[in-house]
Amino acid sequence: MTRPAPRIDLFDVRPEDERASAFARDLRVIEALLFTSSGPVDARALKPHLSKEADLGALMEALTADYARRGVNILKAAGGWMLRTAPDLARVVAGPVPEARKLSRAAIEVLAIVAYHQPVTRAEIEEIRGVSTSKGTLDVLLETGWVRLRGRRKAPGRPVTYGTTPAFLVQFGLDAVQDLPGLDEMKGAGLIDGRLPAGFAMPLPSDDPSLREDEEALEPEPLDFTLSPPPDEDDSDTPDEA
């Protein structure tokens, strides 16, 4: 009976093999950087610490495959890589589950519109939804960290434009906003009625952080140096004279 070939440890190489040694060291560097980071680590943050001839694609492919059999996996999210507990072990390591704060239907609709149509203003959100949108709904999404203020539209009133954040991508396990499901995928999942108006199409989402031609930068918030008003004489602690 033929024995299976022994598995080769990616980190166990002969010192005289310079290329293999450099590859093994680069793997260890990436592993350390991922372990010490609280969020995704992108190529720009990794490359300065790797060898000159490092092939980041090959390194991440090897490391991801090696971690696939472990209790912690490597996930590609928000344009970078991060460590995450293997899905089948989530219950083992989970502590007391905090009470989840559910988004309202309005907040989910607004979040979807921002994701697909960004940069988008509140008026444009209302036009797409067909109903008015309360400021509280947008405030909730800003508090979650999934939506951010991008800039201002070059239009009368200079309305604020909204877009998604890297935290949105991490939360929903997306590498890029372009990974959001398209029209065919949403139809297949039963999320969209098959009887759509002729010519109906969904925009190709983009979360490019650079401002568009019809946007301008937000102004810095002014500092509030307002002094507290002096106390009224009637509010003094001096007892009234008899």
Q: Are 9 and 20 in contact (CB under 8 A)?
A: no
Walk me through the domains of the chain, giving residue ranges and CATH numbers: 18-86 (1.10.10.10), 105-216 (1.10.10.10)
E strands in the chain: 41-42, 72-77, 80-85, 120-121, 147-153, 160-164, 215-216
Which among 93, 127, 112 has a CA at the least distance from the CA of 168? 112
Q: Give this prediction's pTM.
A: 0.60
Q: Are 221 and 194 in contact (CB under 8 A)?
A: no
Backbone angles phi, psi at 158, to 5 degrees: 45, 60
Q: Which two tokens stand for residue 36?
A: 């010490």
Summarize pLDDT for 10-45 with one digit per residue, the tens: 555 555 567 888 888 899 999 999 988 888 899 999
Which among 204, 85, 101 has a CA at the least distance from the CA of 145? 101
Those residues with Cβ within 8 angstroms of residue 154's Cβ, 6 or more apart along the chain or in another chain = 214, 215, 216
Summarize pLDDT for 68-92 with one digit per residue, the tens: 888 889 988 888 899 888 888 877 8
